[in-house]
Amino acid sequence: MSDGIHVIAEEVKICTKCPLHQTRKNAVPGEGDPLAKIMFVGEAPGFYEDVQGRPFVGAAGKLLTELIENILCIPRPSVFITNIVKCRPPENRDPLPNEVEACSQYLDRQIMLIKPKVLITLGRHSSNYILGKAGIKIKGVTDVRGKMFSLFMFDMLLNVMPTLHPAAALYNPQLKVQIEEDFRKLKNFVNTSF
């Protein structure tokens, strides 16, 4: 990892800025290529992520990895994967506003360092946070999934594509079709844009 990304990861691992540090086993800074053109942002670590200190290593992670490898046709380590909140909320509850407030500075810094060609927000919370930075309010992810936004944020023009959270698609065949459709759009965008 490049110096900057490594420094953020070390800060996250010892962070005590919000109460989630009290219940975590491991903070999950994120992983992947610091020069990645494609960056994924989920919500928060779950059980297995907390145990391993790595993002998306449970069942939802298995689906995300398959979508990256089988639809984008690239190895998972060539992208960067992280979450809005870096420590697991107890019982996998939704992150609280004060936790997002305390933690999102790490994500913001990761985005500014990596400067991805496209940022994929996974699910409502992640989409809400990122689109919200550009003043876009959403009711749910359904309205915006699969759409490519070009937004000025973090001092750059950033392409953002929201899609469903892989955990939602796991046990719902209809949503699985939709997330696969979005990944094919993403593949198309990647092929034609960079």
Contacts with ligand SF4: how many residues (CB under 6 A)? 14
In the block, tokens 């092929």 appear at: 191
Binding site for ligand URA (CB under 6 A): 42-46, 49, 55-56, 58, 60-61, 83, 167
Please tell me the distance from the alpha carbon of residue 121 to that of residue 132, in angstroms, as a whole number.
12
Question: Which one, 27 or 131, has the nearer CB to ligand SF4?
Answer: 27
Nearer to ligand SF4 among residue 2 and residue 16 (C-beta)? 16
Contact between 166 and 68 (Cβ < 8 Å)? no
Shortest Å distance, C-beta 110 to ligand SF4: 12
Interaction of residue 12 with ligand SF4, rule CB under 6 A: yes
Residue ranges in 102-161 that form contacts with ligand SF4 under rule CB under 6 A? 102-103
| Closer by beta carbon to ligand URA, 126 or else 178 | 126
* Residue among 53, 99, 102, 107 at smallest CA distance from 80: 107
Binding partner selected for residue 114 from ligand URA, ligand SF4, none, CB under the kind-specific 5 to 8 Å limit? none
Q: Which is nearer to ligand URA, 5 or 167 (CB)?
A: 167
The CB-nearest residue to ligand URA is 42
The answer to whether 114 and 34 are in contact (CB under 8 A) is yes
Select from ligand URA, ligand SF4, none the partner in contact with residue 83, using the beta carbon and a kind-dependent cut-off of 5 to 8 Å: ligand URA
Residue 100 is a binding residue for ligand SF4 (CB under 6 A)? no
Residue for token digits 């290593």? 57
- Which is nearest to 50 in space by CA: 16, 91, 79? 91
Gap between the Cα atoms of 38 and 81, Å rounded: 9
Instruction: For residue 85, state whether it binds ligand SF4 (rule: CB under 6 A).
Output: yes
In residues, how long is the chain? 194
Token couple for 8: 């953020």
In 13-171, DSSP assigns E strands to 31-32, 38-42, 80-83, 118-122, 149-153, 156-163
Q: Does 15 bind ligand SF4 (CB under 6 A)?
A: yes
Rule CB under 6 A: which residues touch ligand SF4?
Answer: 12, 15-18, 20-21, 27, 85-87, 99, 102-103
